[in-house]
Amino acid sequence: MNLGQIRSLIKKKFDNKLDGKFSDSYIDDLINEALKEFLEETLLLEATDNSLTYNSSNDGFVLPSDFIQAKYVEWTFNSGYTRELESTTISEIKRRRNVWAIDNESVDRDALNPSAYTIHNGHLILDTYTQTSPKLYYYKYDSILNNDTDSPNIPTRFHKYLADYVCFELDPNKQECIARWQMGLQLARNRKQKTEGFRTKYIGL
């Protein structure tokens, strides 16, 4: 379904009595809100980025604009081997960086290979000071639906649940709509669990 079709489905659920009460642009905003909420809850869309921009004022890499949550982060050594980095806290990152600063004053900090990362204030921060980008695998938001012909990138069978979200927002008495929305979320989570494949991990490199 595209944006225009989802909007038409919403109006049909109200027996086409929405005209004059809510503008199409308002309904479209709610559809995009529903899509954003759906992806935050289900993490259905994934992306990778291995050329993150380094921000020296934060000593970290700026996250992509469509970032929701990190899946995992990989570091590639000069030899070509890769290692999955450990996810940790900002306090642990600061502790490790202080150790490097005290114990390795003569070492080129840009050459140090990281072993952990954290997500903090819109940045991916490594436990060393390298400005070389790691490879970020992450869950992402979809593009905003602007035109009637734009379609969500989630599987088609979940498009109808976006309409249920909007219908409940327009009329909280439509409890059957929020129930269908929640059912759609669960179906999407189940699908993700079934389709997520095994991923080889690089250990001890």
Clarify whether residues 78 and 136 are in a common domain.
yes
205, part of any domain: no
Strand partners, 137: 48, 72
Question: Can you give the pLDDT at residue 102?
Answer: 53
Question: Can you give the pLDDT at residue 194?
Answer: 82
38, part of any domain: yes
> How far is the C-alpha of 162 from the C-alpha of 63, rounded, in Å?
27
Clarify whether residues 27 and 95 are in a common domain.
no
Clarify whether residues 131 and 173 are in a common domain.
no
Clarify whether residues 70 and 134 are in a common domain.
yes
Question: Can you give the pLDDT at residue 140?
Answer: 98
Clarify whether residues 54 and 96 are in a common domain.
yes
Clarify whether residues 135 and 148 are in a common domain.
no
Amino acid at 130: T
Q: Is 162 in contact with 38 (CB distance < 8 Å)?
A: yes
Clarify whether residues 68 and 14 are in a common domain.
no
Give, for 55, the enclosing helix (H) or strand (E). Answer: strand 54-55
Question: Can you give the pLDDT at residue 110?
Answer: 46
Question: Can you give the pLDDT at residue 79?
Answer: 86
Question: Can you give the pLDDT at residue 97?
Answer: 84
For the chain, 205 residues long, give each residue's pLDDT as a single digit of tens.
999 999 999 999 998 888 788 999 999 999 999 999 999 999 999 999 999 999 999 889 999 999 999 999 999 998 889 999 999 999 999 998 887 655 555 554 445 789 999 999 999 999 998 899 999 999 999 999 999 999 999 999 999 999 999 999 999 999 999 999 999 999 999 988 887 754 444 444 4
- Among 115, 140, 165, where does a domain finish? 140
Strand partners, 87: 117
Q: Is 66 in contact with 140 (CB distance < 8 Å)?
A: yes
Clarify whether residues 183 and 109 are in a common domain.
no
64, part of any domain: yes
Domains in the chain: how many in total? 2
Clarify whether residues 128 and 145 are in a common domain.
no
Question: Can you give the pLDDT at residue 198?
Answer: 45
200, part of any domain: no
170, part of any domain: yes
Clarify whether residues 89 and 35 are in a common domain.
no
204, part of any domain: no
The domain in which residue 79 lies consists of 46-140
Question: Can you give the pLDDT at residue 51?
Answer: 96
Alpha carbon separation from 68 to 72, 131, 189 (Å, rounded): 12, 23, 16
Strand partners, 74: 84, 135
